[in-house]
């Protein structure tokens, strides 16, 4: 039998578990593994910073529903992965992070780049371990894929000491586990299903809110079918937008606050009662609200808000059960008054939004930029939004129509994800139109990844709302806010990307068209009004 090194075993194990793309930054002791992955046919996207590699892997996982894989060298190479891994952890996204580390034989001796990387990663992963025997590499890689995708998804971390990677092993001494396959979908308790439908049948103002659990369980069709069978209005959290097309007759994006505040029964599907939903509490929701909560993770039921009907199960399986139970028990027109009220408010606010988005003011208002982006995008485009003001303006004004095709900073509020997310999304879906709507501050955090896009010929279009600083500053009093109006378009051109500079509203659409037609990575740098502040909840409210 042949002799394999730990590096070769690691590459073979990753590929055997389904890895077809690797996001990484080269360095010891991972060089041989990276080379072996390429020889085995994996696409290898080398980045300018490990943080971007982990973010790209995160976006790749969100588009494919399979764990993205990122890799860093020892010491700072691995700690540079941390922000992206933490973001995936809070976002509940499956991710396999692999870090090289100092040789096992020198542990606790202050070896080169020695740090306890497992201890660093453990609080921000579902599972983290150090491999101490090369023969166990395939087994533990398979375990990593299982941990990342079982129950509530999340990132895992594998630590590979340099001497383990260099260890020579007889192939006959190694077993490669079969590729991990998810277990059958867990259904909800029939009694709880019946109780939930009975509660909805008595409701006057019910509401459905879908979270990322609906995406991970591939529940979009079941979600829409239940919405249409019952006639109940719905909303989704930022991560799960597009689960049902947002121009659906029961989608009332502009009436969200009213719907949340007046609902009498809430069906929460695969979403957490975190700050995004203001913990499910007053004043975001009515004091007498009844809650039906569906989650694949039993530990999430009752977190921050006690449900009246808790249901443990896979989102898709439970929605199918609810739909079957609701037949003949909930008539579609039952909530006509509630739906009419929300539709009327939504129409009024949409008209006001359209007026604001049509302004020809100079400097350009961010809402006018959002309008031009909205009108330019294909219906099935993948939109990534990252920043402060532009994130909130974009959230309010640009709809999503396809499941999984909206990515943003997520519940961790992680700025800098935009361009890496866009690259990861375009790698996962090369035929899709991928556009990143960035703030200038957030773009600067990973701006060098435009070089990655150019080198790997990944034609993502980046549109920057450049208001000259980190956030709006109508009074000119924010410390450390100013960044100047950097010509990011010229910087991009120096790397070989397409660049456009825009100062007037009528110039936006032609610039977008030229950027897309270039077939290259592109940066459209749009000067926007630094006084324009989006309405959003005050940060202090998150702690009260």
DSSP character string of 367-433:
HHHHHHHHHHS-TT-EEEEESSHHHHHHHHH----STT-EEESTTTT-TT-HHHHHHHHHHHSTTS-
Q: Is 251 exposed, middle or buried (0-12, 13-18, 19+ CB in 10 A)?
A: buried
70 within 8 A of 95, measured Cβ to Cβ: yes
| Long-range contacts formed by 282-290: CB under 8 A, 24+ apart | 284/260, 285/260, 285/261, 286/261, 286/262, 288/264, 289/263, 289/264, 289/265, 290/199, 290/203, 290/264, 290/265, 290/266
pLDDT of 478 strictly over 90: no
Query: What percent of the chain stands above pLDDT 90?
Result: 89
Query: Greatest CA separation found in the chain?
Result: 74
Q: What pLDDT does 392 receive?
A: 93
Region of residue 485 (left: phi > 0; alpha: psi -120 to 50; beta: else): beta
Residue 412 to residue 352: CA distance in whole angstroms: 31
If you average pLDDT over residues 177-181, what whole number do you get?
90
The DSSP code sequence of 427-463 is: HHSTTS-EEEEEEHHHHHHTTTHHHHHHHTT---EEE
| Residue 541, pLDDT score | 44
| pLDDT, the chain, mean | 94
Place of tokens 């100092």: 102
Residue 466's closest CA among 448, 490, 450? 490
- Torsion angle in degrees (nearest 10) through CA of 427, 432, 437, 438: 10
What average pLDDT does the segment 160-181 reach? 92
pLDDT per residue as tens digits for the range 80-125: 999 999 999 999 999 999 999 998 887 887 877 789 999 999 999 9
Domains in the chain, CATH or no CATH each = 3-173 (3.40.50.970), 190-345 (3.40.50.1220), 358-527 (3.40.50.970)
List Cα–Cα distances, 104 to 171, 232, 401, 440, 498, in angstroms: 22, 58, 50, 43, 47
The tokens describing 113, both together, are: 């780049």
Geometric angle at alpha carbon 327, from 325 and 332, rounded to 5°: 125
Q: What is the pLDDT of residue 258?
A: 95
Instruction: Label residue 536 by pLDDT band (50, 70, 90).
Output: low
pLDDT, position 1: 65
Question: Residue 145's CB: how many other CB atoms inside 10 A?
Answer: 25
Cβ neighbours around 462 below 10 Å, total: 31
Backbone angles phi, psi at 181, to 5 degrees: -120, 135
Q: How confident is the model at residue 543 (pLDDT cuts 50, 70, 90)?
A: very low
pLDDT in tens, 354-400: 999 999 999 999 999 999 999 999 999 999 999 999 999 999 899 99
On the question of pLDDT at 46 being above 80, the answer is yes
pLDDT at 143 over 90: yes
Query: 208: closest CA among 326, 62, 64?
Result: 326
> Does residue 539 register a pLDDT over 60?
no
78 pLDDT above the threshold of 70: yes
524 forms beta bridges with 463, 500
Please tell me the least confidently modeled range out of 13-17, 159-163, 330-334. Answer: 330-334
Burial class of residue 65 in the structure, from the number of CB atoms within 10 Å of its CB (0-12 exposed, 13-18 middle, 19+ buried): middle
Output phi, psi for 92, to 5 deg. 55, 50
- Looking up tokens 């394999």 gives 4
- Please write the tens of the pLDDT for every residue from 276-301: 899 999 999 999 999 999 999 999 99
d(CA 50, CA 82): 9
pLDDT at 347: 96
Cβ contacts of residue 204 below 8 Å, gap of 6+? 264, 335, 337, 338
Of 230, 232, 235, 233, give the one whose Cα is nearest residue 211: 235
Tokens coding 319: 């929605």
**Tens of pLDDT, residues 414-461:** 999 999 999 999 999 999 999 999 999 999 999 999 999 999 999 999
Between strands 522-527 and 498-502, the pairing is parallel
Q: 3-state class of 355 per DSSP?
A: helix
């Amino acid at each position: 039998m042949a002799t394999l090194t730990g590096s070769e075993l690691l590459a073979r194990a990753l590929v055997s578990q389904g890895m077809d793309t690797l996001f990484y930054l080269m360095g010891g002791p991972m060089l041989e593994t990276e080379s072996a992955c390429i020889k085995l046919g994996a696409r290898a996207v080398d980045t300018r910073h490990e943080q971007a590699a982990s973010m790209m892997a995160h976006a790749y996982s969100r588009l494919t529903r399979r764990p993205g894989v990122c890799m860093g060298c020892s010491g700072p190479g691995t700690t540079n992965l941390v922000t992206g891994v933490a973001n995936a952890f809070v976002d509940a996204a499956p991710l396999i992070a692999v870090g090289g580390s100092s040789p096992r034989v020198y542990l606790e001796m202050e070896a080169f780049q020695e740090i306890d990387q497992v201890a660093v990663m453990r609080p921000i992963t579902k599972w983290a371990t150090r491999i101490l025997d090369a023969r166990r590499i395939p087994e533990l890689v398979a375990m990593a894929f299982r941990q990342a995708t079982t129950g509530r998804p999340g990132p895992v971390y594998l630590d590979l000491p340099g001497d383990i990677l260099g260890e020579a092993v007889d192939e006959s001494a190694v077993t490669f586990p079969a590729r991990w396959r998810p277990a059958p979908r867990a259904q909800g308790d029939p009694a709880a299903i019946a109780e939930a439908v009975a509660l909805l049948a008595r409701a006057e103002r019910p509401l459905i809110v879908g979270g990322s659990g609906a995406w991970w369980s591939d529940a979009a069709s079941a979600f829409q079918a239940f919405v249409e069978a019952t006639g109940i209005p719905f909303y989704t959290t930022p991560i799960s937008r597009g689960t049902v097309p947002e121009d659906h007759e029961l989608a009332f994006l502009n009436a969200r606050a009213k719907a949340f505040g007046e609902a009498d029964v809430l069906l929460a599907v695969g979403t957490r009662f975190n700050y995004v939903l203001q913990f499910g509490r007053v004043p975001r929701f009515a004091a007498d609200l009844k809650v039906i909560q569906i989650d694949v993770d039993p530990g999430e039921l009752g977190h921050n808000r006690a449900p009246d009907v808790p249901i443990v199960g896979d989102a898709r399986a439970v929605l199918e059960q609810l739909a079957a139970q609701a037949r003949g028990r909930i008539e579609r027109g039952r909530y006509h008054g509630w739906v009419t009220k929300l539709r009327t408010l939504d129409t009024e606010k949409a008209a006001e939004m359209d007026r604001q988005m049509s302004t020809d003011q100079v400097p350009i208002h961010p809402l006018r930029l959002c309008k031009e982006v909205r009108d330019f995008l294909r219906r099935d485009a993948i939109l990534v939004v990252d920043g402060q003001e532009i994130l909130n303006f974009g959230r309010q004004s640009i709809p999503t129509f396809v499941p999984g095709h909206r990515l943003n900073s997520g519940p961790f509020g992680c700025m800098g994800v935009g361009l890496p997310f866009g690259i990861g999304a375009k790698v996962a879906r090369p035929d899709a139109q991928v556009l990143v709507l960035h703030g200038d501050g957030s773009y600067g955090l990973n701006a060098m990844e435009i070089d990655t896009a150019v080198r790997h010929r990944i034609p993502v279009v980046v549109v920057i709302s450049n208001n000259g600083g980190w956030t709006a500053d109508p009074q000119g009093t924010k410390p450390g806010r100013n960044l100047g109006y950097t010509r990011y378009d010229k910087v991009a051109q120096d790397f070989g990307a397409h660049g456009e500079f825009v100062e007037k509203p009528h110039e936006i659409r032609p610039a977008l068209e030229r950027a897309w037609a270039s077939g290259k990575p592109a940066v459209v740098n749009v000067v926007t009004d630094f006084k324009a502040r989006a309405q959003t909840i005050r940060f202090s409210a998150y702690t009260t």
